[in-house]
């Protein structure tokens, strides 16, 4: 996920990102907007009350109108306070809702990814983008409460004072035009530089993660200098991008501050001149000063809200990368998986290889695979790739007819010596307590029972991604035991199993035979008695198989047209 590979973000795309993200929570957003409008309107109670006080109550010199006006103002301000509190509560619900929705979305996309091995594709750092959700949770309420309130109150104030005098109307139109110019002049460059800054941040985090997981690699062989140089280069890149982003946001902030200073001074000069000319009352001037001074002060704070907006856009851009995870085909929806483990690859072409063979239900085959063939078979059977031509059929039906869930529950490929960070018990049983009774039996079959009993925490031992405290061979055995606990209908075992003693593999394969599982066992060893046949799949030339003349005599192989691969 190199930052240089990202397309520059445009202002139009940024607005689409915000709209797409907020659409599911539109109810919360519109509720906050309505509350904001009500609060802004009620906020005009102060300047209007002051104007009434000066123009009417002060001339009568009676206390009753003063008390009535004060009570009315108190009621309006209390209503505004309650609405403001309700708006904050609604936005707190929004934060929880958007967190839950994003977590669910990322989880489902990761689980249903066409290729779930993100580290292999150098995309493991993608999930760091989840933390940009915290920026979104803070930025949206900040903009809806602070930014929207400023824009709304300023807009209402400018409209209200425009009715005082034509000069106020012209003055307000000039202020609005200048503000729009300042906003759009720097918005597009700031959006681009903000996204680039976020990418530089994540690229640095990716590098630091790789240093942390290097297991001391950079401390030897003169690599320390290389690591430090890489960190300095990434720091310099971040500083350069940050400097560019700051130039845009700082220039925009200065523009808003200049509008605040010039407009405030201009308002006082224009209002005083109109009073001297007898075209404006003192009450109107005081009200205009109260309304527009508050509006102009809000304008001076727009720089801060603009920076929050750019942070929001950058965070949403990072979160949108999860949408680029290619999903497994869902042709079969959530329906059942294959009826059995019968496998047929009919005239299949993929990555320069051709496969044309069939495996009967419950057969256990030894597979001698040429370079690249093992991975190609795994990719086709797990449907990570689509063949150029031909059909991959499982259980008598096209593999494309099954949904991801049904397929993943019935087809298993053990092709990596890695584990999720969990305990041995949780890895083996998950949430299925019915597996607990057979757990020890399966561990005995693969030769792990005694090893696990010697661990201080036994089955509750926490495992790292690499499988520690287990060795690589023991990790492979543990994955084999987990497959025995819940035997799939079709199982592909890689050459990785050659790390285990043949007797342990034979015992496990016998367990799969009892369960009726179809097994393709890719191995560099000679066939074992438990194997029904051996097929040879090569990158070049003719692939052939060894059958058995007598099913009771597991020692004399003979050629059999069981499979063809070229």
Q: What is the mean pLDDT of each run of 10 residues along the chain (566 residues)?
A: 63 92 88 83 71 62 72 82 86 92 92 76 83 94 86 85 89 94 95 95 92 78 84 96 97 96 92 88 80 87 94 95 80 68 87 85 88 84 84 85 77 84 85 73 90 90 86 90 90 89 92 91 90 76 40 39 44
Q: What CATH fold (topology level) applies to the domain 3-324?
A: ABC transporter transmembrane region fold (1.20.1560)
**By the 8 A CB rule, do 426 and 460 touch?**
no
Q: Where in the chain is the domain with CATH 3.40.50.300?
A: 343-418+487-565
Residue 490: closest CA among 518, 465, 509? 518
DSSP code, position 147: I
What pairing do the DSSP bridges indicate for beta strands 411-413 and 545-548? Answer: unpaired
| CA 486/CA 429 separation, integer angstroms | 9
DSSP code, position 144: I
Degrees (nearest 5) of the Cα angle 325, 328, 331? 140
DSSP code, position 54: I
Domain covering 343-418+487-565 assigned CATH 3.40.50.300 in the classification: yes
**Taking the CB of residue 524, how many other CB atoms lie within 10 A of it?**
8
> CA dist 308 to 138, 146, 194, 312, 314, Å?
9, 11, 10, 6, 10
Instruction: Say what the pLDDT of residue 114 is.
Output: 75
Instruction: Say what the pLDDT of residue 543 is.
Output: 40
Instruction: Say what the pLDDT of residue 251 is.
Output: 96
**Helix, strand or coil for residue 333?**
coil
Instruction: Say what the pLDDT of residue 542 is.
Output: 34
| CA 445/CA 447 separation, integer angstroms | 6
**Helix, strand or coil for residue 384?**
coil
How many helices (H) and strands (E) the chain has is answered by 18, 12
> CA dist 41 to 34, 155, 160, 173, 291, Å?
11, 11, 11, 21, 12
Diameter of the chain measured on Cα atoms: 120
Peptide bond preceding 238: is omega within 30 degrees of 0, i.e. cis? no
- Burial (CB < 10 A; 0-12, 13-18, 19+), residue 181, is exposed
Q: Which pTM was predicted?
A: 0.78
Residue 36: closest CA among 171, 188, 150? 150
Instruction: Say what the pLDDT of residue 541 is.
Output: 36
**By the 8 A CB rule, do 267 and 171 touch?**
yes
Q: Where in the chain is the domain with CATH 1.20.1560.10?
A: 3-324
| CA 481/CA 224 separation, integer angstroms | 41
Instruction: Say what the pLDDT of residue 236 is.
Output: 97
């Amino acid at each position: 996920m190199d930052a240089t590979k990202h397309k520059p973000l445009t202002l139009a795309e940024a607005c689409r990102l915000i709209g797409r993200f907020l659409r599911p929570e539109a109810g919360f957003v519109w509720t906050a907007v309505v509350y904001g409008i009500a609060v802004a309107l009620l906020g005009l109670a102060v300047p209007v009350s002051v104007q009434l006080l000066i123009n009417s109550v002060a001339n009568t010199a009676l206390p009753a109108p003063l008390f009535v006006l004060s009570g009315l103002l108190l009621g309006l301000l209390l209503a505004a306070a309650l609405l403001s509190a309700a708006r904050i509560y609604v936005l707190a619900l929004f934060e929880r809702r958007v967190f839950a929705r994003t977590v669910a979305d990322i989880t489902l996309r990761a689980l249903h990814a066409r290729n779930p091995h993100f580290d292999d594709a150098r995309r493991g750092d993608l999930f760091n983008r989840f933390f940009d959700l915290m920026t979104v949770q803070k930025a949206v309420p900040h903009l809806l409460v602070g930014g929207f309130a400023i824009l709304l109150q300023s807009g209402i104030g400018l409209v209200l004072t425009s009715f005082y005098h034509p000069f106020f109307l012209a003055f307000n139109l000039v202020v609005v035009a200048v503000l729009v110019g300042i906003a759009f002049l720097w918005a597009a460059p700031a959006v681009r530089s903000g996204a680039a800054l976020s990418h530089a941040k994540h690229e640095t985090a990716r590098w630091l993660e790789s240093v942390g997981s290097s297991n001391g690699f950079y401390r030897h062989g003169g690599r320390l200098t290389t690591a430090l140089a890489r960190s300095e280069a990434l720091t310099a890149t971040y500083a350069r991008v940050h400097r560019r982003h700051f130039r845009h946001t700082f220039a925009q902030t200065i523009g808003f501050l200049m509008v605040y200073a010039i407009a405030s001074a201009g308002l006082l000069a224009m209002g005083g001149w109109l009073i001297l000319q007898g075209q404006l009352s003192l009450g109107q001037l005081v009200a205009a000063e109260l309304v527009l001074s508050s509006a102009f002060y809000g304008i001076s704070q727009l720089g801060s809200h603009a920076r929050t907006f750019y942070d929001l856009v950058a965070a949403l851009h990072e979160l949108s990368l999860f949408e680029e995870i290619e999903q497994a085909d869902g042709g079969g929806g959530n329906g059942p998986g294959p009826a059995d483990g019968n496998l047929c690859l009919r005239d299949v072409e993929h990555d320069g290889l051709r496969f044309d063979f069939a495996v009967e239900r419950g057969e256990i085959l030894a597979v001698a695979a040429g370079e690249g063939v093992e991975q190609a078979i795994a990719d086709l059977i797990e449907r990570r790739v689509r063949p150029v031509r031909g059909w991959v059929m499982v259980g008598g039906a096209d593999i494309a007819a099954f949904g991801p869930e049904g397929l993943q529950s019935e087809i298993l490929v053990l092709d990596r010596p890695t584990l999720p960070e969990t305990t041995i018990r949780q890895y083996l049983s998950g949430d299925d307590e019915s597996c607990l009774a057979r757990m020890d039996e399966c561990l005995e079959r693969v030769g792990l029972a005694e090893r696990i009993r010697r661990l201080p925490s036994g089955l509750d031992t926490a495992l790292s991604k690499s499988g520690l405290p287990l060795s690589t061979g023991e990790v492979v055995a543990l994955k084999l035991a987990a497959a025995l606990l819940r035997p799939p209908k079709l199982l592909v075992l890689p050459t990785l199993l050659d790390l285990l003693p043949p007797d342990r593999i034979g015992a496990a394969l016998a367990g799969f035979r009892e369960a009726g599982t179809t097994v393709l066992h890719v191995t560099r060893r000679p066939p074992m008695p438990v194997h029904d046949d051996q097929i040879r799949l090569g990158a070049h030339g003719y692939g052939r198989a060894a059958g058995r003349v007598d099913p009771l005599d597991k020692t004399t192989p003979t050629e059999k047209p069981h499979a063809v691969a070229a």
